[in-house]
Amino acid sequence: MSRLTATTALVTGSTDGVGRLVAVRLGEAGARVLVHGRDRGRGEHVVREITERGGRAEFLRADLATLAEVRRLAAAVEGTTDRLEILVSNAGIGSGGSGASRRQTSADGYELRFAVNYLAGFLLTHLLMPLLTRSAPARIVNVASAGQQAIDFEDVMLTHGYSGTRAYCQSKLAQIMFTFDLAERLQGTGVTVNALHPATYMDTTMVRQAGVTPRSSVEEGGEAILNLAVSPALANRSGLYFNGLREARADPQAYDRDARRRLGALSMELTGLDGGSEGGTRSQL
């Protein structure tokens, strides 16, 4: 990886797993890394690891299950740096773990995986867009998954037929749909946005909580994420979905402009970006 001494990067969910590896690697390459997570102790440990290797890093705490915390994180980023060249939206909740068999909701009343895996990144990206465009050329990387399920717009919050797997796969497809739409809107700004499935069943806490035997390493997934974040070959390419290091096709709904329009309008409402009250309304859910 080339030297990144003039680069600032925010990696959400970077106190564990592949996010941590990406943060450390960016720090080793000279980038100033904004480490994000919910646990201050683990976050400060990652910061020490980066600084002990000669890098620069700060920890920003936020629980992305709360839209108010997402807004606070964006404000903290803007208060910490006047430049942001890389945003890696990696934080998320898997399909397994405690409570996965029953439907859970976020602090704002939304289905938890849709809220954390998708809405939080949607809102954070919008709030940081002025900073990213001022810092152009800049890149946004959305860490999605090959596990994707078409969104049922009659029951986005999965009040019927809930399963953790369905919730996870829907949230990951939503990330990809957002990526495609955002890439079109960002044409000519110098900011690119791409999504990827980093690797299949990496050896992470998320995978082990799902009761799945790991099939790949965090190093493999980290390499794929870093490819989108820093590879010169992708400097001007945007609106792509990758499976590892290869460009791939996502679920057909990702290419449905009407479905993407519906998702975008709903997301603006739910996050309060449409000018309505914080968190939007729940009457249509």
Catalytic residue positions?
A: 168
Query: Which two structure tokens, joined as six digits, stand for 266?
Result: 């709903």
Q: Look at the alpha carbons of 117, 123, 126, 127 in this order and tell me if their dihedral is positive or negative.
A: negative
Amino acid at 26: L
How far is residue 176's CA from residue 196's CA, in Å, rounded to a whole number?
Answer: 8
Amino acid at 81: T
Quickly count: other Cβ atoms within 10 Å of residue 159's Cβ: 10
pLDDT tens digits, one per residue of 164-220: 999 999 999 999 999 999 999 999 999 999 999 998 877 676 666 666 777 778 999
276 pLDDT higher than 70: no
pLDDT tens digits, one per residue of 46-60: 999 999 999 999 999
- Domain regions of the chain by residue span: 8-271
The pTM of this model reads 0.93
State the CATH class of domain 8-271.
Answer: alpha beta
Reduce the secondary structure of 121-165 to three states and give it as a string: HHHHHHHHHHHHHHCCCEEEEEECCCCCCCCCCCCCCCCCCCCHH
147 CB contacts (<8 Å, ≥6 apart)? Answer: 95, 165, 168, 169, 172, 197
